[in-house]
Amino acid sequence: MVDVAPNGKPARRWAWPDLNRLVARPGFQRWAARFPLTRPFAARDGAQLFDLVQGFVQSQALMALVRLDVPATLLDGPRAVADLARRTDMPEARMLVLLQAGAAMGLLRRRRDGRFGLARKGAALVGVPGLAEMIRHHDVLYRDLADPVAFFRGQTDTELAGFWPYVFGAGRDVPPQEARIYSDLMTRSQELVAADTLDQVSLRGITRLMDVGGGAGVFLEAASAKSPDMQLMLFDLPNVVAEVPERLRAVERQGRLSLHPGSFKSEGLPDGADAISLIRVMYDHSDDTVRDLLAKCFAALPPGGRLIVSEPMSGGTRPDPVTDVYFALYTLAMQTGKTRSAAEISALCEAAGFVDLRVLRAHRPFVTQALTARKPL
């Protein structure tokens, strides 16, 4: 690609393919690493590339630390390598390698006396609700990704799809033990989601809120604390709502809670709510299932009724480093789910008849992003 410079002579203007081919040359990389003006960029790009290369090793070291309860153990204070090795039945030399890796990742801190303690990030790992449980559960996803090419070609019979049997419409046939696995894991991860959603969404004017796929009632409990006079409806699979969740017993005693067992895949939603919340529900399901669910939400709401959607959302035209990597691959492994952008979710809501679509600003998009809509008057 050639342009004319101000002096009238031909000037070279790089097109992106030309520039990429230049950057891809080993000789250019060696030059860029030495040249003072390009050295910082070459060093940064190289470090970031190597971070991608070692990402799998980091995730496995993290899994080992969590499974061995090292961060939780260090909450009481720094410990010697030998002590941690004895506690975990591990050779001391190998424990040292693991602790060094934890310190290099910013989770632990090595003291001058050789003991290891928690760094701030490691303390957060212990304190974030559900985070350790989510990491423990990742061994299923790791096995699904063992052959990544086959995974992306759709040739892998993923374990993760079997881990969430409710996704396939099992409905009333979900065994109680499997329903408990689903509910327990979801409960531990929903507390942050509920808090971040309610930081974005106002409940003002809502008198009766129905949480569809509400599980153990984490979101309803948080919403009730914000609006103590609001009536609550919990809709989920029969085995999930077989009894009032412990966290909602106080609300039940106040006469503000009703349970509604059912599957939105095979049944309509009950009437009576002036707002419906879908908290981390839509991204578990295909577009066809989501269209049907939104139509049922629209039918169940009165004129002016509100819809609240909250889940991790793709960056769309601006790919997001968390939602377009972690959540996109996770939902792909589930085989029916899909991580959608705010624009895609808005379009699905509008197609169902909703208006006044608003994408709210999230403090932590890697936790959740909220969107609200309204049924026309």
Kindly report, residue by residue over 162-182, the tens digit of the pLDDT.
776 554 444 445 566 655 655
Closest CA to 357 of 314, 290, 284, 308: 308
Cα 97 from Cα 177, distance rounded (Å): 38
Is the per-residue pLDDT at 1 higher than 50? no
In the chain, what percentage of residues exceed pLDDT 70? 82
Confidence (pTM): 0.80
Positive/negative CA dihedral, 274, 346, 214, 312 = negative
Averaged pLDDT for residues 153-158:
93
Domains of the chain by residue range:
2-53, 55-127, 140-374
Please tell me which residue, 26 or 328, carries the higher pLDDT value: 328
Query: Quick one: DSSP state of residue 108?
Result: E
Cα 93 from Cα 88, distance rounded (Å): 13
| DSSP helix/strand/coil, 117 | strand
Cα 133 from Cα 269, distance rounded (Å): 31
Is the per-residue pLDDT at 32 higher than 70? no
Cα 323 from Cα 368, distance rounded (Å): 9
CATH class of 140-374: alpha beta
Cα 195 from Cα 303, distance rounded (Å): 28
Contact indicator for 217, 247 with CB cutoff of 8 Å = yes
Kindly report, residue by residue over 52-106, the tens digit of the pLDDT.
888 899 999 999 999 999 999 999 999 999 999 999 999 999 999 999 999 999 9
Contact indicator for 363, 196 with CB cutoff of 8 Å = yes
Sheet strands (E) in the chain: 2-4, 10-12, 108-110, 116-118, 208-212, 231-236, 257-261, 275-279, 306-311, 355-359, 369-374
Contact indicator for 78, 116 with CB cutoff of 8 Å = yes
Please tell me which residue, 8 or 183, carries the higher pLDDT value: 183
- The residue assigned the tokens 């669910």 is 293
Which helix (H) or strand (E) is 72 found in, with range? helix 70-73
Query: Quick one: DSSP state of residue 91?
Result: -
Please tell me which residue, 64 or 241, carries the higher pLDDT value: 64
Fold classified for 55-127: Arc Repressor Mutant, subunit A (1.10.10)
Cα 219 from Cα 330, distance rounded (Å): 22
Cα 14 from Cα 215, distance rounded (Å): 55
Closest CA to 303 of 365, 244, 375: 375
Instruction: Please tell me the predicted confidence (pLDDT) of residue 173.
Output: 53
Averaged pLDDT for residues 221-242:
91
- The string of DSSP letters for 288-351 reads HHHHHHHHHHHHHSPTT-EEEEEE--B-TTS--TTIIIIIHHHHHHHSS----BHHHHHHHHHH
Is the per-residue pLDDT at 115 higher than 70? yes
